Amino acid sequence: MAASSSEPGPGAAGPTVLVVDDSALMRRILQDLIAVSGEFRVVATARNGLDAIRKVEAFEPDLITMDITMPDLDGLGAIEQIMRARPRPIVVVSARAGRGTAEAIRALELGAVDLVEKPEGGSAAELQTLGPRLLAALRAAAAADRGQLRSAAPPRPRPAPPAAGAATAGAARVAVVVAASTGGPRALAEFLPALPAPLGAAVLVVQHMPAGFTRSLAERLAGLCGRRVVEAEQDAVVAPEAVYVAPGDYHMRVAGTAGAATVALTREPPLWGVRPAADHLFRSAAEVFGAAAVGVVLTGMGRDGAEGLWAIRRAGGGTLAQDRGTSVVYGMPNAAVQAGAVNDVVPLEAMAGRVADEIRRRTGRGAA
C-alpha cells in the first residue's frame, strides 16, 4: 500500500493534491517538489488507478497528478472514471517514450487539463526543470472551471486524410491561426473536426505543450479531422485545407506573402514563459495575410495571443475568442477580450461555423 497521506508543509494552505504514480521514487519526488513550493498541499499518494479512485473518494483532493502507464488500472481508465463520478482538474505526468505520448494526448481528450513531461532519469538538472513546469501546470489546473470537466465520449475518427499534396496543392491565400493552452487539446478535438471541407484556408495551431508530444497531437487530430494535420516543419508551404501544429519548444511564424507563404521555426527565447507562443504566429499572419487572416483564441492560462490577435484586427482580419462558459480556463480568451482585440466571443460548439463565416467573407464563396 502506498503512503496514504503526507503532512502539509509549514504554512501550506493552498489547493490539495493527490499524487498518482506506480513508482515509489517518482511519488516521493513529485511530493517533495509540490511541498517545497508552499502553494499546494499533498494530501495523499496512490500507486495505480484503482488506488487513485479510492483516494479521491477518501480525501477529496482539489487537484491530481496522474501517471499513465500503471498496473491494475492505468491512468486513462482512472481519468475516465474520475471525470464521470468526481470531476476535478488532473495534470498528466507522462514519459515521452513509445506509446506514452499518444496515450497522454488521449488523457487530455478525456478531460485532463495539462501535461508535464516526466524526466527520463533522476538527475538534479532534470528535476530542476521538472519543478517549475509541474508547479505552472498545477496553477493552471487550479484555475480550471470544474463545470467544464466531464467524462468525454471518444471522438469519432473521420476517413483517413489525403496524402500530402493530394488535395492541398499550391499555397493558401487565407489563413486561420489558433492559440490554445490549458484544456486546448480537448477543445481542438472538438473544433477542428467541425470545420467544413473544403475550408478554403490553411489552419496553423499553437498549442502550449512539451516538446515531443506535439507530433502525437497532430497525428491524433489527423485521425479525427479527416484532413491533413501535421507537425509543422521549417520552410513547409502553407497549403489550403492543411493544418499545421507548432512543434513543442519552437516558435512558429508564417513568412513570405499570401499565396506563397511558408513556415518559419525558431528557438528564440520563450514569450510569456512559453515556446511556442501564439503572439509570434498571430503577428506574422497579420503581416503576411492581412485582412485574409482569421485569429482564434481558445481556452488557456495566461495572456498569450492577445497582442497578436490585436495585430490581426488592425490588419482587417477576423478575430474570435472562446467564451467563458465553454472554456476550461478563461485566461487567454479573457486577456484578448480585455485588450479590445476580439470581434466576437463564441461558444466552442459554434466556433467552427463562425470561422467558416469569416473565411466566406474573405473568399467571396461559401465553405461547403
DSSP of 275-301: SS-HHHHHHHHHHHHGGGEEEEE-S-S
Q: For residue 320, tell me if it sits in a domain.
A: yes
pLDDT in tens, 180-204: 999 999 999 999 999 999 999 999 9
pLDDT in tens, 227-265: 999 999 999 999 999 999 999 999 999 999 999 999 999
Q: Looking at the structure, tell me whether residues 190 and 329 fall in a common domain.
A: yes
Residue 70 or 121, more confident = 70
For 341, the enclosing helix (H) or strand (E) is none
pLDDT of residue 9: 43
Q: Are the C-beta atoms of residues 76 and 67 closer than 8 Å to each other?
A: no
Q: Which residues are catalytic, by number?
A: 181, 208, 304
SS3 (DSSP) at 225: helix
Position 165 scores a pLDDT of 40
pTM above 0.85, yes or no: yes
Neighbouring CB atoms inside 10 A of 150's CB total 11
Given 148, 164, 186, the domain boundary residue is 148
The verdict on 329 and 181 lying in the same domain is yes
User: For residue 349, what is the domain's CATH number?
Assistant: 3.40.50.180
209/291 same-domain check: yes
Q: Report pLDDT digits (tens) over 144-180.
A: 998 888 755 556 666 555 544 444 558 999 999 999 9
Domain total of the chain: 2
Statement to judge: residues 190 and 267 lie in one domain: yes
Strand segments (E) across 164-210: 175-180, 202-207
* 91 has a pLDDT exceeding 70: yes
Which residues have a Cβ under 8 Å from the Cβ of 125 and sit 6 or more positions away? none
Average pLDDT over residues 206-220: 94
User: Rounded to whole angstroms, how far apart are CA atoms 41 and 165?
Assistant: 52
Give the range of the structural domain holding residue 184, as residue numbers without chain letter. 175-363
